[in-house]
Amino acid sequence: MKERNQRLDFLDAAPRPLVTPSILDCDFSRVGEELDALERAGALAVHLDVMDGHFVPNLSYGPPVIADWRPRTDFPFDAHLMMSDPGRYLEAFVKAGCDVITFHIEAVPDPTELLRTIRRSGCRAALALNPPTALEAVLPYLAEVDKILVMSVMPGFGGQSFEANVLDKVRAIRAARPGLVIAIDGGIKPANAAEVVAAGVTQLVVGSYVWREDGNYAASLAELAEAIRRGRI
């Protein structure tokens, strides 16, 4: 079993752009098998959507559940905390085995201390911003983050439509910090994968598109990879 620093080294070494499946739409009666299937399909990390029923109008899962998945897989866990008070539960998410921890600027308008606490705990720290939130909200903190997550839907549910106008924020962040990891989350599929990469995205969170009825997740990932490759020619 890998330790956190090994999982983060593995994540750093992963080729970019990187597609990280969100398991929000997987079969929760057999998550272990779904994680194995993603690994066989060639995924290198997974995105974990945590929803508190307050910051977003939906509930998902929390630290005790993630802790049970941790020994089941060596995937780096990319946690997306859609929560009103992420600091209150931070230690629990670190202990549960999350590796990259993202929280929302709308929930924590002065995020410096929490970002530093996350980094001190050995995890990577990231800030997310919703589609209506201006870029200026996160710009002062670019030196404190390992990643910015640009939401391309209002968070809370999988399967919503991609909002292309958020790509202006991606381009501006890319210009301000050429080496920073920029993730996008919401409505990503082959039809828009090349466009988001061209704007500067290096991590594509993909939920509903991955979870096909036939279980052929390798085909979903291959279609996304092919769309990104074609966009680069």
The set of catalytic residues is: 49, 185
> Taking CA 185 as the corner, what is the angle to CA 112 and CA 86, rounded to the nearest 5 degrees?
35
Binding string, residues 169-208; x marks residues near ligand DX5 by CB under 6 A? ----------------xxxx----------------xxxx
The item of Zn ion, ligand DX5, none sharing an interface with residue 206, based on CB under 5 to 8 Å by kind, is ligand DX5
**Residue 90: strand, helix, or coil:** helix
Report d(CA 187, CA 190) in Å as an integer.
10
Binding range to Zn ion, per CB under 5 A, among 3-11, 63-71, 108-116, 183-191? 183-191
> Is residue 159 within the footprint of ligand DX5 (CB under 6 A)?
yes
The item of Zn ion, ligand DX5, none sharing an interface with residue 24, based on CB under 5 to 8 Å by kind, is ligand DX5
> Taking CA 232 as the corner, what is the angle to CA 158 and CA 139, rounded to the nearest 5 degrees?
60
Q: Of 115 and 149, which CB lies nearer to Zn ion in the complex structure?
A: 149
Q: Tell me the longest C-alpha to C-alpha distance in the chain.
A: 46
> Taking CA 56 as the corner, what is the angle to CA 128 and CA 8, rounded to the nearest 5 degrees?
40
> Is residue 153 within the footprint of ligand DX5 (CB under 6 A)?
yes
Q: Of 2 and 106, which CB lies nearer to ligand DX5 in the complex structure?
A: 106
Residue 52 DSSP symbol? B
> Is residue 147 within the footprint of Zn ion (CB under 5 A)?
no
From 4, 11, 20, 22, residue interacting with ligand DX5 (rule: CB under 6 A) = 22
Contact 187, 162 (CB under 8 A): yes
Binding range to Zn ion, per CB under 5 A, among 46-54, 87-95, 107-115, 190-198? 46-54
Q: Of 56 and 199, which CB lies nearer to ligand DX5 in the complex structure?
A: 56
Among all chains, which residue has been given the structure tokens 């109008």? 57
> Taking CA 126 as the corner, what is the angle to CA 19 and CA 128, rounded to the nearest 5 degrees?
80
38-75 b/e (C-beta count within 10 Å ≥ 16 → b) = beebebbbbbbbbbbeebbeeebbbbeebeebbeebeb
Among all chains, which residue has been given the structure tokens 């307050």? 54
Binding string, residues 24-43; x marks residues near ligand DX5 by CB under 6 A? x-------------------
> Is residue 104 within the footprint of Zn ion (CB under 5 A)?
no
Binding range to Zn ion, per CB under 5 A, among 41-49, 68-76, 212-220, 221-229? 41-49
Binding site for Zn ion (CB under 5 A): 49, 80, 185
Binding site for ligand DX5 (CB under 6 A): 22, 24, 47, 49, 80, 153, 155-160, 185-188, 205-209
